[in-house]
Structure 1
Amino acid sequence: MPIDLHDGDLPDDVYFGPTVAIDTETMGLNPARDRLCLVQMSAGDGHCHMVQFRAGVYDAPNLKRLLADPGVTKLFHFARFDVAVLKAYLGVVCAPVYCTKVASKLVRTFTDRHGLKDLCRDLLGIDLSKQQQSSDWGSAELTPEQLRYAASDVLHLHELRARLDVMLAREGRTDLAEQCFRFLPTRAELDLGGWDEPDLFAH
């Protein structure tokens, strides 16, 4: 798979089309504590672009422009986390978004397994390795294994969306999914504001 690693921002000439698959790698799962280290993107063509951030340096005008572009759908798996992290560190509200995890939960009600590894195996017959998931993403030099792992998190999202869209339409839940997707930036804002635990919508 072709991988282009960029330091601090996307080049001016990178074009992803109307839908870009995006994922992030951070130092942990708490956006208030654990810094953003890497943003990886793919147009669904087998090519992955990555932007690596040094601690405290998040001036990335080209990437910010892409994330905020209303004409580009940002495709995530578990968008709630990624959208929150991107807002916290880049100051950008990602919209519109599509989340394969939310879509899976709406239509694959026969299972409680909605991780990316599960979706790729069940819907695409692809076995993803998660061995590098908990590695040190803050390292100045990422290993080839880390880069391959990060790329794998975005390379299949377009195909997963296509499969899930068919299921959403079949079950009559496309409109419901779209409403959920529109709410995700607000959900991320609530998480950043401290309304994740306890959940504002809990009893």
Structure 2
Amino acid sequence: MTEYEVIDRQEDFAAAAASLAAGHGPVAVDVERASGFRYSQRAYLVQVFRRDAGLFLFDPPPIGDFTLLQEAIGDVEWVLHAASQDLPSLRELDLSPATIFDTELAARLLGHERVGLGAVVESTLGISLAKAHSAADWSTRPLPQSWLEYAALDVAHLIDVRDALDQELQDQQKSDIAAEEFAAVLARLPKPPREDPWRRLSGLHTVRGRQSLAIARELWTAREDFARAEDVSPGRLVPDRALVAAIRANPKTKRELGALKDFTGRASRTQLDRWWDAIERGRSAEILPPERIQSDTLPPPRAWVDRNPAADARLKNVRPKIEELAEALGMPTENLLTPDTLRRLAWSPPEPLNKESIAEALAAAHARQWQIAQTAQVIASAFVDSVQSAEPTPESSS
């Protein structure tokens, strides 16, 4: 059984932070949230392990202020698995690393076939981890003993995994690549809020008419406001399909809405006034949402041959070359260069078409320097080849 200490009192917190400060080497950090249960993405448990310090499970609500922990470990390397998922929740607690080592990302760069935590621990250390509680409601209190044991195991082996992967990176001469990728994850800004987020309602494509879309907007907003206030995942109050069913049924009265079989969810009847008020607001709205909004999303590649034949030729020529390069480097293609970046370059390439202009375009798309160094010439050559192959030869034009 893994040894750990649960810290859920301020008087124990200072001693735990002092122990971690006195440890040596990097610290393993993980976070448990209540995704799918709560509205927020706040951390409901923070696991920290450091050699010669011990393993601690910090309970954020009773602790509140994590300043002492940040002061204790803020300047050393933090080892996380899939860091981009945990960093926002950690930053809500004012916990922010100076440098990171992402074991999931390292495994991808090394070409590991499976990169989940359990798979990486097994492939590097030969230890099998049970993942029985990964989708649990971590806002539950008190936390069951089996959950705490599971949480402790998430960091107990992470430093050893980091060391094994670091050696692999050195052996494959990918240490500099990994360092760039880790720094990029750490520096990545949060995504800006989506325009018209209510349009993400699953099944909204079946709703017709701008007035019906206004109703969808009001129902989504009402559910979002209530979910935020209750700190409950919106879908647990009223699922998307239930909101869409109510819109399509077009009930004439609140009673009809309440009698609608497909209008389900634990808050569908207890908050019936809330949903009916939203429907009425949507019906009386004078400013109606457009059927579609302007988007910079590119057409699907299958439509390119008709809509932009030159771009279609560029993409068909460059994509296998990037895939071959990724295979030669021993990593997934998407880690060498994101498919969206490649598609956008193929759709609208820079001028003049050469390695330098492609490099500038890649930098503007936030590609890392190692990615630019590996791909710029390959992309430029492939684009030029696609133009030349499309030009008629003297024989074909005679």
Task: Give the TM-score normalised by structure 1.
Answer: 0.83
Q: CA deviation at 1:17?
A: 2.2
More helix by share: 2
* Long gaps (5+) in structure 1: none
Name the amino acid aligned to 1:105: R
1:190 corresponds in structure 2 to 190
Equivalent residue for 2:86?
82
Q: 1:153 to 1:176 in 2, by over 3 A?
A: same
Q: Does the 8 Å CA contact 1:2/1:46 hold for their aligned counterparts? A: no
Q: 1:104 aligns with which of 103, 107, 120?
A: 107
Match of 1:61 among 58, 62, 67: 67
For the Cα contact (< 8 Å) 1:73–1:98, is it kept in 2?
yes
Q: What is the alpha-carbon distance in structure 1 between the residues aligned to residue 81 and residue 47 of structure 2? A: 12
The 3-state SS of whatever aligns with 1:136 is coil
Query: How many residues matched?
Result: 192
- Per residue, is there more strand in 1 or in 2? 1
Residue 155 of structure 1 corresponds to which residue in structure 2? 156
Quickly say closer, same or farther: Cα 1:38–1:94, change in 2 above 3 A: same
Higher RCO, 1 vs 2 (CA within 8 Å, ≥6 residues apart): 1
Give the secondary structure class of the aligned counterpart of 1:138: coil
> For the Cα contact (< 8 Å) 1:103–1:177, is it kept in 2?
yes
Deviation of the 1:30 alpha carbon: 10
Which residue matches 1:50?
57
Partner of 2:14, secondary structure, is: coil
Residue identity over aligned pairs, in percent, reads 26
Q: Name structure 2 gaps, 5 residues minimum.
A: 195-296, 298-337, 342-398
Report the AA paired with residue 49 of structure 1.
Answer: F
Q: Match for 1:40: what amino acid?
A: Q
Q: Rg larger in 1 or in 2? A: 2
Q: Distance in 2 between matches of 1:139 and 1:102?
A: 30
Please tell me whether the aligned partners of residues 25 and 38 of structure 1 are also in contact (alpha carbons under 8 angstroms): yes
Matches for 1:157-172 after TM superposition, within 5 Å: 157-172=158-173
1:46-97 residue CA offsets vs partner (Å, 9 max, x unmatched): 9420110228x73122123235x22x1111111111112111x213432211
